[in-house]
Homo-oligomer: A and B are copies of this chain.
């Protein structure tokens, strides 16, 4: 359902799809993400978001049910869209290793492209707020499923070991990529995050053990 309706004490609000595609809706959402990135969700006030968006406090409630809803919308309309692009990117490659490389590459690329989104996403996925738990779980599952598909295919191709605990491997890969993103987000010198793709893939595939020389 692309419609979002609810009852409040006296009125019936219907925040329509049309509203969501409006210019102000996006301005407020971007403003919110920008302030959340700087200060965190709970330290951010509606007034700050309004000021950053250049609208009045009350205007925000024409586009969002409440403060929590801004976060929900962030995951529902912004982050989810980014994650939806991952599957397509993976499909472009012909073998498992390349698919994994494409996934990681796109992941790093998108997060580098929108730093505010990256900060908020990384921060909130570790806070386990009831508000957005479902959204995050869904997106996380989407990602892990992609990885699982890739690894299974890699095993069929003979490019990946068959004695892997798939549940662990999925998290291992996601955790490593997120760790690389976090390092980049909070490092002083702003290097190119996307260039981490190959070194990461190399670690995933070959590990740190020295087998070649034996």
Interface residues of A (CB under 8 A from B): 10-11, 40, 42-43, 45, 47-48, 97, 119, 122-123, 125-129, 151, 154-155, 158-162, 164-165, 167-169, 171-172, 174-180, 182-183, 186, 196, 199-200, 203-213
Contact = CB atoms under 8 A, between A and B. Distances in A.
Contacts of A182: 126, 171, 175
Contacts of A45: 10-11
Contact of A175 (B151, B180, B186, B211): B180
Copies of this chain, tallied across the complex: 4
A6 to B, nearest CB: 16
A159 to B, nearest CB: 6
B206 A158 contact: no
A160 B208 CA distance: 6
Contact of A209 (B11, B48, B159): B159
Which interface residue of A97, A129, A208 has the most chain B CB atoms within 10 A? A208
Given A10-B48, A174-B179, A176-B179, A165 B199 contact: yes
A168 B178 CA distance: 12
